[in-house]
Amino acid sequence: MKIPLSYSFRNLWTRKLTTGMTVAGVGLVVFVFAAVLMLAAGLQRTLVATGSDDNAIVLRKSAESETLSSVSLDESDIIASQPEVSLGSDGKPILTKEVTTMINLQKKGASSNDLSNIMVRGVSPAGVMLRPQVKIVQGKMFTFGASEVIVSKQLIDGFEGVQLGGSIRFAGRSWNIVGLFDAGNTGFASEIWGDKDQIMQAFNRPTFSDVVFRLKDKDAFNSFKSKIETDPRLNELKVLREKEFYAGESETLASFIRILGLVVTIIFSFGAMIGAMITMYAAVANRTVEIGTLRALGFKRRSVLVAFLFESLFLALIGGGIGLAVASLLQLVTVSTTNFTTWSEISFSFALSPGIIIGTLVFATAMGIIGGFLPSVRASKLDIISALRSS
Amino acid sequence: MKVIKLILRNIFRHKLRAALTILGIAIAVMSFGLLRTIIGAWYSNSDNAAPDRLVTRDAISFIFQLPLADRDQIKQIPGVKEVTFQSWFGGIYIDKNQFFPRLACDPETIFDIYPEYVVPTDQLDAFKKERDACVIGERLAKDYKLKIGDIMDINGDIYPGKWQFVVRGIYKGQKETTEETNMFFHWDYLNEQLLKTAPPRANKIGWYVVKIANPSDAARISEQIDGLFKNSDAETKTETEKAFAAGFVAMSSAIITGLQVVSYVIIGIIFLVLANTMLMSARERTREYAVLKTLGFTSKHLAGLIFGESIAIAVLGGILGIVLTFPVVSGFAVAMARFFSHISIELLTVVLAAIFALLVGIIAGIFPVIRSTKTTIVDGLRQIG
């Protein structure tokens, strides 16, 4: 016969303060565990959302990031004339030759030495059409041929001296900020955009960084890929799906956050497991007579073991639930840091996913079972007579 | 003396519980120490900076290059002893996960300006003579099992192409904290290739390192250097090496802040573990405390007993934790050697860990003390289990 679950649950309730402290300990560990996973997931989600599967990006073979890549004018013209590039209603290829570079901006409230690298992207007219996630929300689009830029609205809040109608100075010129854009949760939300020709002139750059174009159809990517591998004029270049490329940029930083964070939380979890173990041992010691009574009533050793394991499991799951609930509030928080792959600033939010929820609850369950196992074994091993006799 | 004996006896009445609590505190103290050491390692580069070195880089961003011609102009400024330069080469060695700085430099001056990189004289001469020679840090030599005469193949990304370098020197750090993961090679070797393949990119360098005679002139000289190139195509920004390194650290400030927050969360966990144990012990002894009160002991005595026990457990856990920190940090240092050049435990970390353990010991005792003083003798004696 089984001992009812409510027995385990009510036992926790009678010792509210001790239960509360153990739950809080587990909750703290679970909170950190979930927060780390959410941070890494947020970074990945942001960069994955930056690219589109319909677009292809062409870069120099060895380049890991756009800033390190270079594509010559000739190469870009050859790419633009390929049949795999989709054409717009005006008959022109939907393709943008882009140049990316970086400028330093000072974070709001930071010292003047605390500078961040902000990505400046020079685009062709089709650049905006290729990225429907970028929308101008205030002001207007920059004029091609003028020293004008549009900036992400997130930069206005985060950095000194960036405002609509104002100007920023870089590369020996003053650039008017004529519009603000909203790029949602994508990497573009940490960028400044302008005319590629103006930016190349100002920075004295002879080559583009990369070329992005809309693929004509499903097979276009593979046929373009084999073309680039065989055409001697293009064999210094590589092509990737845009989504794949940006997702790759998140790898280093995301795995760094995950490894560091998980090592830390696993060490922490020992602290919480020991907390649960102490509580459960005390629960067993206090209830020796009660356990003897249960056994005398005919409950099997296994039932006692299970009842105590459940008690520990409840403890951990309540803690896990609270930790997870608090961690889910982090979704409102935006973090801005340097991406190690591009050396440019990227801002992203904590992101909760079903996988993280399940992972966190499994983690809490494991803490409860491991912490509660030895005390439960002790409870089930108690001898009926001596248990009943103890005071 | 008797009181101390009583406290110790009390602690070990439940041997298992005492051991678990001490272990719990020790693990928490150890992770606090580990986290703080990681944060410290992040800053160690800027701590290593010499006060008599300035770094001049492009004013817009680090990724832009400066003309080689600036060098002679900087040299003219009074108070400047020597100027050398470096370029970030990047590239891929073996695969893209092998990260260490590969720097194109001026072989004649680089090791004069960085005396902390010690190269044997014969190796230095050999390095200077050969166009495609390189000098690597001892740590790199160990990690990749490289010896003098070996060839390093690097695939260029910033500077496209296949590059080959011959190891002609292995430098040792002057101090234990000196970074031993750099690779230096001739900037001329790089420039020759650029003149052939990409002339507009040639004759440019990444940043200048300026050695000054008197560190107190740093601000004046920085201003003078930047003044020289004001309104030119490549305006410069000059700062002390320390400020330059701190700028890199600041890029990851969000991660550092996160680690700092987490290192304090762990103190919360220590507190909960200890407070829980103390609460349970005090509850179990309610009757005993009542008996002590009947015998004439006052609430003050009881408070002393409980605080004493709580602090003693915290101190034992704290000591064990601090002792554990050392082997764990050195294990971590081996595992992360490629990311952090030098990891060591600061004295402040040990002191802070000890202070926090002590504080937690005191605070964790407060609850049970309040309870025991509030409970009347009659209620206490009536208490069961």
- A158 or A95: whose pLDDT is higher? A95
Any B CB within 8 A of A259 CB:
no
**pLDDT score of B289 more than 80:** yes
- Span A313-329, pLDDT tens digits: 999 999 999 999 999 99
CB contact under 8 A, B63 and A116: no
How does DSSP assign A22-60, residue by residue? HHHHHHHHHHHHHHHHHHHHHHHHHHHHHS-TTEEEEEE
**pLDDT band at residue B158, thresholds of 50, 70 and 90?**
confident
Using an 8 Å CB-CB cutoff, list chain B residues near A28: 265, 268-269, 272
How far off is chain A from B153, nearest CA to CA, in Å? 14
* A338 vs B: CB within 8 A: yes
- Give contacts of A271 with chain B, Cβ < 8 Å: 24, 27-28, 31, 266, 269-270, 273
Alpha helices in B147-285 (DSSP H): 187-197, 218-228, 241-251, 253-284
- What does the pLDDT average to over B187-200? 91
- Pure H helices in B14-101: 15-47, 70-76
Asked whether the beta carbons of residue A337 and residue B255 sit closer than 8 angstroms, the reply is yes
Q: Give the mean model confidence (pLDDT) for residues B19-23.
A: 92
> Chain B: residue nearest A348 by CA?
B254
Query: Residue B27 and residue A272: Cβ atoms within 8 Å?
Result: no
* Contact yes or no for B60 and A103 at CB 8 A: yes
% of chain B with per-residue pLDDT over 90 = 49
Yes or no, beta carbons of B27 and A115 under 8 Å apart: no
Residues in chain B: 385
Q: Pick from A24, A63, A236: which is nearest to B272 by CB?
A: A24
d(CA B92, CA B263): 35
Q: What is the mean pLDDT of residues B354-381?
A: 89
Instruction: Give the mutation candidate from B46, B88, B157 for the A interface (greatest A CB count, under 10 A).
Output: B157
The partner residue sitting opposite B20, judged by closest CB among A60, A67, A274, is A274
Q: Is the pLDDT of residue B330 over 80?
A: yes
Nearest to A67 among B34, B63, B252 (CB): B63
Q: What is the pLDDT of residue B115?
A: 93
pLDDT in tens, B229-256: 988 878 898 999 988 888 777 777 778 8
Query: Which residue is it, tokens 């591009």?
Result: A342
Residues of A with CB below 8 A from B265's CB? Answer: 28, 31-32, 268
- DSSP H or E stretch at residue B240: strand B236-240
Interface contact A18-B35, CB threshold 8 A: no
Residue B288 has pLDDT above 70, yes or no: yes
Which residue type occupies A38? M
- Does position A361 have pLDDT exceeding 90, yes or no? yes
Overall average pLDDT of the A259-279 stretch: 85
Here the tokens at position A232 are 């001697």
**A264 reaches B (C-beta below 8 A):** yes
Measured at the alpha carbon of residue B375, what is the angle toward residues B372 and B379, in degrees to the nearest 5? Answer: 135
**Sign of the dihedral through C-alpha B11, B12, B17, B18:** positive
Which of A20-29, A333-342, A350-359, B221-230 shows the lowest per-residue confidence on average (mean pLDDT)? A333-342
Average pLDDT taken over every residue of chain B: 88
Q: What confidence tens digit (pLDDT) does each residue in A218-252 have? A: 889 999 999 998 888 898 899 999 999 999 888 88
Alpha-carbon distance of A131 to A141, in angstroms, equals 14
Q: What is the mean pLDDT of residues B120-125?
A: 95
Alpha-carbon distance B347 to B370, whole Å? 36
A185-210 per-residue burial string, b: 16 or more CB within 10 A, e: under 16: bbbbbbbbbbbbebbbebbebebbbb
Tell me the chain B residues in contact with residue A272 when contact means C-beta distances shorter than 8 Å.
269
Q: Is residue B341 scored above 70 in pLDDT?
A: no
Q: pLDDT band for position B64 (50/70/90)?
A: confident
- Listed in order, strand segments (DSSP E) in chain A are 55-60, 95-106, 115-123, 135-139, 148-152, 167-170, 173-182, 191-195, 210-214, 237-241, 334-338, 345-349
What region does A204 belong to: left with phi over 0, alpha with psi -120 to 50, or beta? Answer: left
- pLDDT at B162 > cutoff 70: yes
Instruction: State the pLDDT at residue A391.
Output: 61
Sequence-separated (6 or more) residues with CB below 8 Å from residue A362:
none
User: Which chain B residues are closer than 8 Å to A262 by Cβ?
Assistant: none
pLDDT averaged over every residue in chain A? 90
Distance CA A359, CA A266 (A): 13
Please name which of A108, A133, A238, A228 lies closest in space to residue A186, comparing C-alpha atoms. A133
Give the pLDDT confidence score for residue B382 in this predicted structure. Answer: 81
Q: What is the rounded distance in angstroms from the CA atom of residue B82 to the CA atom of residue B209?
A: 8
Instruction: Say which amino acid occupies B54.
Output: L
Helix (H, G, I), strand (E, B) or coil at B230: coil
Q: What is the mean pLDDT of residues B273-298?
A: 87
Tens of pLDDT, residues A174-226? 999 999 999 988 999 999 999 999 999 988 788 899 999 999 988 899 999 99
Stretch A260-267: mean pLDDT: 84
The answer, yes or no, to whether residue A161 has pLDDT greater than 60, is yes
List for chain B the helix, strand, coil content (%; round to 5): 55, 15, 25
Which tokens sit at B225? 């250097």
pLDDT at residue B385 is higher than 60: no
Q: What is the pLDDT of residue A81?
A: 93
Contact A110 B250 (CB under 8 A): yes
Q: Among A28-37, A238-247, B173-182, B191-200, name the one with the lowest average pLDDT.
A: B173-182
Determine the Cα–Cα distance for residues B150 and A240; give it in Å rounded to an integer.
35
With beta carbons less than 8 A apart as the criterion, state whether B78 and B278 touch.
no
Number of Cβ pairs closer than 8 Å across A and B? Answer: 151
The whole-number average pLDDT for the span B259-267 is 85
User: Tens digit of pLDDT for each residue in B79-114?
Assistant: 999 999 999 998 889 887 788 899 999 999 999 999
d(CA B79, CA B81): 6
A38 Cβ under 8 Å from any chain B Cβ: no
Does the structure show a pLDDT above 90 at B165?
Answer: yes
Distance from CA of A74 to the nearest CA of B (A): 14
DSSP H or E segment with residue B206: none
Q: What is the pLDDT of residues A101-156, one digit of tens each?
A: 888 888 887 766 667 889 999 999 999 889 999 999 999 999 999 999 999 998 98
Secondary element (H or E) of residue B120: none
CA–CA separation, B35 vs B256, rounded Å?
10
pTM of the model: 0.82
Residues A116, A119, A124: CA angle, nearest 5 degrees: 165
Distance from CA of A151 to the nearest CA of B (A): 17
User: Residue B92 is inside which H or E element, if any?
Assistant: strand B92-93
| Of B239, B235, B374, B336, residue with least CA distance to A111 | B239
CA distances from A349 to A41, A307, B257 (A): 9, 41, 16
